[in-house]
Structure 1
């Protein structure tokens, strides 16, 4: 009996030891705990962490940089330091977090928005900061694709004619918003028949974009196209158009980024003419990199383009339906363990992309 008890205690201790030594990760989520994009982003990230056996804790900043800094300080200088900290350079907060990380022993990975060139130059090669890499989506391409696809959906423009465009960007100091704007302007340069009547900052919210669009549709009644840097602003602008007695997808063509259930349904209904999505997967792919780094794998050797990943894709109605079904089940059918570079040939490259979900 005593031997059985000792064996049981030993087995329990071994199990507890494995649990206690699971690689720990803290994610500083810049969004709100009710924000559709960041909640969905976190769910995909949690699915990856669970599959990989990582101990993931998520802290929402509720769109307040001071919360981010307080949470970073707790993670990097408190008594319960994680092995890894995942952060977003939202509103350029990353340099302050990196300075806190000096000498902490915590490894950092940046997602969605990495250091700007000026920030990287100012920080230089400061010692005591261990950044294993960055993962950002091709935001400039997303902004470009939206307008180009809107024009494809619209069809030929008669010689001498032009189309009026309204644009809703996010927070002005967010790198992702700036890059999507750059993509928009690249597309505009290629299509001079499109006139950008006004670009406003809807701050990523449906309410703000609704207020702005209500005035803008009165100011520019000939508006034919609406470009939106996220889904919530597109939904707000659609509501404003409907309130004016017109129909999205018929009287005015709309575009958006993201893959919330509401915007996917709008794509299915034809109210939304162009949708670009894919970057909600970044957090999940970050978990794969962290898991490999914790195993001693040089993750840089298996990546072609640092830090950008080609994630954004145009979503047609069939894909919109498929994404809706995946979200409803909270099961993404991705074998995250199989994406590891462990035991892979030298030429292996991480195959991160939306196609892993859409098979």
Structure 2
């Protein structure tokens, strides 16, 4: 009886110990708690964390950089510090967070919007910030793909013909928005018959883009192409065109980034001509890297510390239909580098959800 009791107590202690060993993670989500992209992004992270046995907490900034800094201070200087902090360099908040992290012992990872070269230089000179790496998508490719596919959908352009284009970028001081613009300008350089009439910053907002597009369609009535750096702005611009009694997908061709239910429906019903998606998976892949780091894996040996993943791809109607259904399950544990040979490379890709 005594032996059984001792065994029971030992087993309970072991179980508690195993639970205590679960790595804790805080994600500073820059979006709102009702914003489709950032909510689905966090849900994919939570699915990964659950599969990997990580303790993940998500803190939404509600699109306010000040809130992000408050949450960062609580995580890095509070009494219950996590093992890892995941952040996005939205509105260039990273430098202030890096300074808060000095001597905290919390390991940092950045996703989606990377550090600028100057910020990297500052970080490299520090020895009191525990930085495990960054994980970003190929945003320049997203911007490039959108315009080139819009032109493919439009069809041949006569030698003396020009096409008017409007572009809606996100928040100006956000690396992801800037890189999508770079991709757009690369495509424009390759297609001089396309005239960019105006690029405005819709701040990722449907309402803001609706207001801007309402005025721009009046100013540039010959517009036939609209490039938008996210789904919300694309939906706003399509609404503006419909209010002018023209038909999205027929009178004007639209493009967008992301895979929210609303934009997938627009792709399926033909209002949206071109859709690019894939980067909502970044947070989930970051959980795999954090899991491996917590288990003592040198994740840099499996592809480098700072990674740009080729995640963006054009979404056809069949893929849009697939993404419109229940979220496909992913075996995140199978993606781990634990026990893998040095030649192993993390196979992070949207195809893991589309197959």
Q: Same fold (TM over 0.5)?
A: yes
TM-score (norm 1): 0.97
Cα separation, 2, equivalents of 1:289 and 1:63:
26
Distance 1:305 1:141, change over 3 A: farther
The separation in 2 between residues aligned to 1:106 and 1:346, in whole angstroms, is 27
Say which is worse superposed, 125-134 or 2-11, in terms of deviation: 2-11
Is the CA contact (8 Å cut-off) linking 2:226 and 2:254 kept in structure 1?
Answer: yes
Q: Indicate if the aligned counterparts of 1:304 and 1:349 stay in contact, CA closer than 8 A.
A: no
The verdict on how the C-alpha distance between 1:237 and 1:285 changes in structure 2, with shifts beyond 3 A counting, is same
Rounded to whole Å, the distance in 2 between the matches of 1:257 and 1:294 is 33
Q: Answer whether contact 1:165 1:198 (CA < 8 A) is retained.
A: yes
Residue in 2 aligned with 1:116? Answer: 116
Which residues of structure 1 form unaligned runs of 5+?
none
Q: Where does residue 202 of structure 2 map in the other structure?
A: 202
Aligned pair in 2 of structure 1 residues 132, 255: CA closer, same or farther (>3 Å)? Answer: same
Q: Secondary structure at the residue paired with 2:104?
A: coil
CA distance in 2, matches of 1:177, 1:149: 19
Query: 1:18 offset after TM fit, Å?
Result: 1.2
Distance in 2 of aligned mates of 1:2 and 1:305 = 52
- Residue in 2 that maps onto 1:173: 173
Residue by residue over 1:325-358, the C-alpha shift from the partner in whole angstroms, topping out at 9 and shown as x without a partner, is 1xxx3x4221100001111111110110101111
Asked whether 1:217 is paired with 2:217, we answer yes
- Superposition deviation, residue 305 in structure 1: 8.3
Give me the TM-score of the superposition, normalised by structure 2.
0.98
Do structure 1's residue 335 and structure 2's residue 341 form an aligned pair?
A: no
Where in structure 2 are the equivalents of 1:319-358 lying within 5 Å?
A: 319-325=319-325, 329=326, 331-358=327-354
1:315 deviates by 0.4
- The alpha-carbon deviation at position 120 of structure 1 amounts to 1.9
1:237 equivalent to 2:234? Answer: no
In structure 2, relative to structure 1, the CA distance for the partners of 1:196 and 1:57 (3 Å cut) is: same
Distance 1:172 1:268, change over 3 A: same
Q: Cα RMSD between the aligned structures?
A: 1.2
Distance in structure 1 (CA, Å) of the matches to 2:165 and 2:189:
13
The C-alpha deviation readout for 1:175-199, integer Å capped at 9, x for no partner, is 1111100110000000001010111
C-alpha deviations, 1:218-266, integer Å up to 9, x for none?
Answer: 1111110000000000000000101110110000000000010100111
Aligned to 1:293: 293
Alpha-carbon distance, 1:121 to partner: 2.5
CA-to-aligned-CA distance 1:90-141 (integer Å, 9 cap, x gap): 1111011111111111111110011101222244411210111100000011
Structure 1 residue 12 displacement after superposition: 2.3
Q: 50-59 or 16-25, which moves further after superposition?
A: 16-25
- Shifted more, 303-312 versus 30-39: the winner is 303-312
Q: Cα deviations across residues 270-318 of structure 1 (Å, max 9, x unaligned)?
A: 1100000000000000000000001111111111683211100000000
How far apart are the structure 2 equivalents of 1:14 and 1:332? 34
- Please identify, of 116-125 and 204-213, the stretch whose mean Cα deviation from structure 2 is larger: 116-125
The verdict on how the C-alpha distance between 1:72 and 1:305 changes in structure 2, with shifts beyond 3 A counting, is closer
* 1:119-268 correspondence to structure 2 within 5 Å: 119-268=119-268
What's the CA shift for 1:3?
4.3
Provide closer, same or farther for how the CA distance between residues 106 and 194 of structure 1 changes in structure 2, counting only shifts above 3 A: same
